[in-house]
Amino acid sequence: MLFNDIAYVYIGGMDSVLGDVNGTYQWIDGSAVGANGFDRWGPGEPDHHNQPYEDYMLFGCLQAYTDCVWVDINGVYSFAYLCQEPVF
């Protein structure tokens, strides 16, 4: 989906998964985002952009950034999504 002329896709990460504390992001399987030492949050993200319910992690290429990053957004929009499949 284009949002403010930027292509975003939902990547399966959420804030408050399973009732966790606001500001703690987890993957849909419950594992902590960044637990393996890797994250791609954009500068200042997650920022909740003056909205307390920006609980969904999106991957997007923002014009202001030099590469593609994660951002947080609220759940009122519909986005394409990525699925993880086991490698056999």
Is the residue at 34 inside a domain?
yes
Q: Which domain holds residue 19?
A: 2-81
Instruction: Measure Cα distances from 83 to 9, 21, 41, 43, 51 in Å.
Output: 11, 25, 19, 25, 27
Cβ–Cβ under 8 Å, residues 8 and 79: yes
Is the residue at 63 inside a domain?
yes
**Structural domain total, the chain:** 1
pLDDT of res. 21? 61
- Write out pLDDT tens, residues 13-59: 888 655 556 678 888 888 888 888 888 888 888 887 766 678 888 88
- Write out pLDDT tens, residues 49-75: 766 678 888 888 766 656 788 888 887
Is the residue at 88 inside a domain?
no
Is the residue at 87 inside a domain?
no
CATH number at residue 69: 3.10.100.10
Is the residue at 49 inside a domain?
yes
pLDDT of res. 66? 63
Is the residue at 28 inside a domain?
yes
The Cα 46–Cα 54 span in angstroms is: 8
Is the residue at 14 inside a domain?
yes
Span 1-23, mean pLDDT? 68
